[in-house]
Amino acid sequence: MKGYAGKILRVNLSDGRMSKEEIPEEMMRKFLGGRGFAAKILWDEVSGVDPLSEGNKIVFSTGPLTGLPIPSSGKMVIASKSPLTGGYGDGNIGSMAAVHLRRAGYDVLIVEGKSERPCYIAIQDEKVEILDARDIWGKMSFEAQDSLEAKHGKNVGVLVIGPGGENIVRFATVMSQRGRAGGRPGMGAVMGSKNLKAIVVRGTGEIPVFDVERLREMGKEGYGEIKGKENYDFWIRQGTMQVFEWANENNCLPTSNFREGTFRFSKRLDGYALERLKVGRKGCPLCNMQCGNIIKDAENMNAELDYENVGMLGSNIGMDDLRKVGVLNRMADEYGLDTISLGSCLGFLMEASEKKLIEARIEWGDFDACQKAIEDIVKRRGLGEIIFEGVRKASERVGGDSQDWAMHVKGLEISAYDCHACPGMALSYGTSPIGAHHKDAWVISWEVSTDRFSYSKEKVEKIIELQRLRGGLFESMTTCRLPWIEVDFGLHWYPKYLEAARGVGISQEEISELGDRIYTLIRSYWVRESRSWSRKMDYPPSRWFEEPLNQGDLKGYKLDRARYDGMLSRYYEIRGWDEDGAPQKETLEGLGLGDVVSVLGENG
Ligand code: PTT
Ligand code: SF4
């Protein structure tokens, strides 16, 4: 089929074997690309292994729209069995590496095995090499990127890990372009476990497209439409940081380890505070609404700020100085750690310290102590020894009542939305296919502006609708979803882009089916890989059910466990999963996943 390079490049780091494999047409039709391909590959090839062992594989997966001259298409999915959660894990990164991989003639790169010594993979079109990385091992992600560009030329795409990934901190991410980060559930740690420091890729070919002229024309129109949108100028000023003020006003800004939804000093951290410090912006390739906000941080260095980062490294840990938040954010980027999990881990340590569950003292908002803790996490010493595997494991270590306020779902730390008074968003976290991340169903803005406190069937349906679009379509095409979400770029463009790229469009029905198929396959993966799967895995932490908000105009609010459980049952019902959340035989067969039945058993 047009629109694809049609090839998977497979590199085995244990024995140096490499192969180029055809992607079956059926896989393109059924799974589209990106996350769809990654889920299928992991289901077929990675079963029952320790995520940090040689047997795990890491998949770098593009979609049929990646790298094409249409808005915000420089994205790819990085997926693996997660060392943080033990289940399916992925993340979406904007990088020239995505574009170059396609130009080099591959849709997907699978890396398997483990190198004996530090290495990196260099891809130049047909030529693929495993090269020595001893001289860059131990280097920060920015410096390593610079060294690789000095060696291979500026015009390459680089995916790289920092010392966090090398030392197998479980929430280490993959970095690119000094500020793009992808793979929250420890994709950087998987690279580190394989002694793989980086991937450098350069492609000089054309991505095969069905109707190149039409695509270019429509791409141009799309870029123009984005620039003309009402919210465009404000977006350029604040990017995702525009959410900060809204979250505080609506009592869902993560504060003091998700105890509260409002922060006393929010004005010091919001989008307007950012505007006063902003010195530039950057972002992903092929994007004309670049959202990486650059400021000079408290050490006078460039740091990139997004809403999630400021929520988690600001209000969630009592840090009220944006320039200091910038330093912590930059440290995370350099070390290659996920900022969301990092902010949650620091908040956890602060609360554990306050409650005297650990000996060391780390106070809310203590900047120096945070810097030291980050270094300790990367070196896995002191406080780092307690927390380097994330809050779930840390709560097992420190005991007390900490399991109630270890803020995660399935082991992945919750991203920056407090849900004491948002049952829909809580369910979205509960049912996200990678653990508690907002990317699949960011239902909160709709929820807050409609029937906020209800546990209604409509809310459940809305979550599934968003999961189909965001978690299914966007993660698989693979393009950035922010043009649609943030500046109201028309959703109708995407089937047209797919048609011009592949010769085959996608109907509304097919979008739903695609999303459901991917969701059900990923859910099957979780059930197969978890030793003790149960519906409890789809629950947010006890804090939101047991401890009401103490401040703000929603003081006293908390979630209702029985009603949450009712929503969860409705969710399973619509999805065709059983009362434990495992896909049922008819559902699997109906989605063309008959081969899964024999593995999960007749009843799912
Ligand atoms: C994403 C998660 C997010 S979501 C943020 S801020 W956000 C954090 N950013 C980090 C960072 O920065 N440095 C760091 N060391 N760790 C970080 N962890 C956090 O990672 C990101 C953008 C953003 S910014 C969002 S919402 C959108 N996410 C998309 C998505 O998931 N899919 C898609 N098709 N399009 C998306 N567009 C937007 O991309 P993860 P990126 Mg990211 C400094 O990676 O694992 O998915 O986690 O990829 O290229 O940095 O773009 O307010
Ligand atoms: Fe990247 Fe932001 Fe542009 Fe999306 S809007 S492609 S995240 S720079």
Our answer on whether the CB atom of 186 is closer than 6 Å to any ligand 1 atom is no
In what order do the strands lie in the sheet containing 57-61? 18-22, 7-12, 108-112, 57-61, 75-81, 88-94
3-class SS at 540? Answer: coil
- Encoded tokens for 466: 């968003």
Distance 554 CA to ligand 1 centre (A): 29
pLDDT for 35 equals: 98
User: How many whole angstroms separate alpha carbon 566 and alpha carbon 52?
Assistant: 37
| Ligand 1 proximity of 333 Cβ (cutoff 6 Å) | yes
d(CA 37, CA 62): 9
In the chain, ranges of CATH 1.10.599.10 domains: 424-488+507-600
Instruction: Look up residue 395 and give its amino acid.
Output: S
Query: Over 70: is that where the pLDDT of 604 sits?
Result: no
What pLDDT, on a 0 to 100 scale, did the predictor assign at position 428? 98
Is it the case that residue 531 has pLDDT exceeding 90? no
Q: What share of the chain is helix, strand, coil (3-state, %, to 5)?
A: 45, 15, 40
- 429 residue type, one letter: Y
CA distance 513 to 390: 34
- Burial (CB < 10 A; 0-12, 13-18, 19+), residue 130, is middle
If pLDDT is split at 50, 70 and 90, which confidence band does 120 have?
very high
Beta strands in 177-313, from DSSP E residues, in sequence order? 180-182, 196-202, 278-282, 292-296, 302-305
Q: Is 304 helix (H, G, I), strand (E, B) or coil?
A: strand
Instruction: Name the token pair of 65.
Output: 């729209």
Indicate the pLDDT class of residue 600, thresholds 50, 70 and 90.
confident
Does 93 sit in the ligand 1 pocket, CB within 6 Å? yes
Residue range 155-178: mean pLDDT, rounded: 98
> CATH says 424-488+507-600 is which class?
mainly alpha
496-524 in b/e form (b: 16+ CB < 10 A) is: bbbbbbbebebeeebbbbbbbbbbbbbbb
How many whole angstroms separate alpha carbon 360 and alpha carbon 372?
12
Say how many Å lie between the CA of residue 236 and the centre of ligand 1: 17
Whose Cα sits closest to atom 2 in ligand 2?
291
Task: State residue 224's pLDDT score.
Answer: 98
Tell me the average pLDDT across 173-178: 96
**Ligand 1 touching residue 178 (CB < 6 A):** no
* 449 Cα–ligand 1 center, Å: 24
Residues whose beta carbon lies within 6 Å of some atom of ligand 2: 72, 94, 283-284, 287, 289-292, 480, 482
pLDDT in tens, 329-363: 999 999 999 999 999 999 999 999 999 999 999 99
Residue of the CA atom closest to atom 15 of ligand 1: 333
Among 142, 138, 140, which Cα is nearest to 158's? 142
Centre of ligand 2 from the C-alpha of residue 344, in Å? 24
How far is it, in rounded angstroms, from Cα 94 to Cα 227?
A: 20
Counting residues of the chain whose pLDDT is more than 70, the rounded percentage is 100
**Averaged pLDDT of the chain:** 97
Residue pair 401/358 in contact by the 8 Å Cβ criterion: no
pLDDT over 90 for what percent of the chain?
98
Does residue 602 carry a pLDDT above 90? no
Q: What is the Å distance from ligand 2's center to 329 Cα?
A: 18
Q: What is the pLDDT of residues 18-31, one digit of tens each?
A: 999 999 999 999 99
Q: Within 122-211, where are the H helices?
A: 141-152, 163-166, 187-193
Write out the E strands in 210-320: 278-282, 292-296, 302-305
Confidence class of residue 603 from pLDDT cuts 50, 70 and 90? low
Cis bond before residue 478 (omega within 30° of 0): yes
Per-residue pLDDT tens for 394-435?
A: 999 999 999 999 999 999 999 999 999 999 999 999 999 999
Over the stretch 434-447, which tens digit does the pLDDT of each residue have? 999 999 999 999 99
In Å, what is the CA distance from 256 to each residue of 242, 351, 501? 21, 8, 47
142 Cβ inside 6 Å of ligand 1: no
pLDDT at residue 601 in the model: 76
Classify each residue of 24-62 as buried b or exposed e, where b means 16 or more C-beta atoms within 10 Å of its C-beta. eeebbebbbbbbbbbbbbbbeebeeeebbebbbbbbbbb
In the chain, CATH 1.10.569.10 sits at 238-416
Nearest Cα to 312, choosing from 292, 329, 295?
Answer: 329
As a dihedral over the C-alpha atoms of residue 383, residue 384, residue 389, residue 391, rounded to 10 degrees, the angle is 40
Under 8 Å between Cβ of 384 and 373: yes
The pTM is what?
A: 0.97
238-416: CATH, from 1.10.569.10, 3.20.20.70, 3.90.1280.10, 3.40.50.2000: 1.10.569.10
pLDDT tens digits, residue range 59-104?
999 999 999 999 999 999 999 999 999 999 999 999 999 999 999 9
What pLDDT score was predicted for residue 555?
A: 97
173 lines ligand 1 (CB under 6 A): yes
Separation of CA 24 from chain center: 27
Q: Which fold has domain 7-202?
A: Aldehyde Ferredoxin Oxidoreductase;  A, domain 1 (3.60.9)
Q: Where in the sequence of the chain do the CATH 3.60.9.10 domains occur?
A: 7-202
* Residue 161 confidence (pLDDT) above 80: yes
Ligand 1 and 160: CB distance under 6 A? no
Q: Which residue has the least CA distance to atom 1 on ligand 2?
A: 284
